[in-house]
Amino acid sequence: MESIRKWEQGEVVPMDLLLLADPSEQKVKEYYQKGEMYIAEINNHVVGVYVRIQINEITTELINIAVSEDWQGKGIGKRLVEHSLHTARQAGYKRIEVGTGNSSLDQLALYQKLGFRMEHIIKDYFAEYNQPIIENGIVCRDMVRLAQEL
């Protein structure tokens, strides 16, 4: 079975996974360096990752979560989100936020199943990306923001 552990400085950054959730390498590099990154491993092979950053003293954001395409649909994403909720509570946060694309239907369902509630939409958030993102036959234009009280 897999384990989830904190990524340590000096380890290889699982950039291929991080880019699955956010195609902007520049943005990914900015936030993974200022946040906490956790990796899911199966047989010492990295299959999932998430990054959580501090917004303020009571709020944290799950800013990137990704599972290797070969391992999707096996519950790893759910376990990563649950782990992020647990580590956020342990760190003393009272609230966790997450943002995802309007076209990310599976992610929207997962977050809501795990207790997140939709709060607002940032229109045209993904317009600044160099190439269009298309998921589930839908152009990803807007960011849906969700949150959960811990």
CATH assignment at residue 15: 3.40.630.30
Measured between its terminal Cα atoms, the distance across the chain in Å is: 27
Phi, psi of 106 (to 5 degrees): -65, -40
Residue 70 domain boundaries: 3-96+105-115
d(CA 100, CA 104): 7
Q: pLDDT digit string (tens) for 106-120? A: 999 999 999 999 999
Q: What is the average pLDDT value for the chain, to the nearest integer?
A: 94
| Residue 148 near residue 116 (C-beta atoms within 8 A) | yes
Q: Give the tens place of pLDDT for each residue, 2-23.
A: 799 999 988 999 999 999 988 8
Residue 120 lies in a domain: no
In this prediction, residue 1 carries a pLDDT of 53
**pLDDT bracket for residue 131 (50, 70, 90):** confident
In a domain, 69, yes or no: yes
Residue 128 is predicted with a pLDDT of 76
Closest CA to 95 of 35, 36, 150: 150
Q: Is residue 31 part of a domain?
A: yes
Please report which confidence band the pLDDT of residue 121 belongs to, taking 50, 70 and 90 as the band edges. very high
In a domain, residue 145? The reply is: no
At residue 19, the 3 state secondary structure works out as helix
pLDDT given at position 67: 96
Q: What integer pLDDT is reported at residue 105 of this predicted model? A: 94
- Evaluate whether residue 139 is within a structural domain: no
Residue 123 within any structural domain of the chain: no
For residue range 29-41, list pLDDT tens digits in order.
Answer: 999 889 999 999 9
Number of domains comprising the chain: 1
Each residue's pLDDT tens digit, 56-96: 999 999 999 999 999 999 999 999 999 999 999 999 999 99
- The answer to whether position 144 is within a domain reads no
- The pair of structure tokens assigned to 98 is 């997450």
Spatial neighbors of 72 by CB under 8 A, at least 6 apart, are none
Of 75, 47, 77, the C-alpha closest to 62 is: 77
Whether 130 is covered by a domain: the verdict is no
Q: Which single residue is written with the structure tokens 């649950």? A: 82
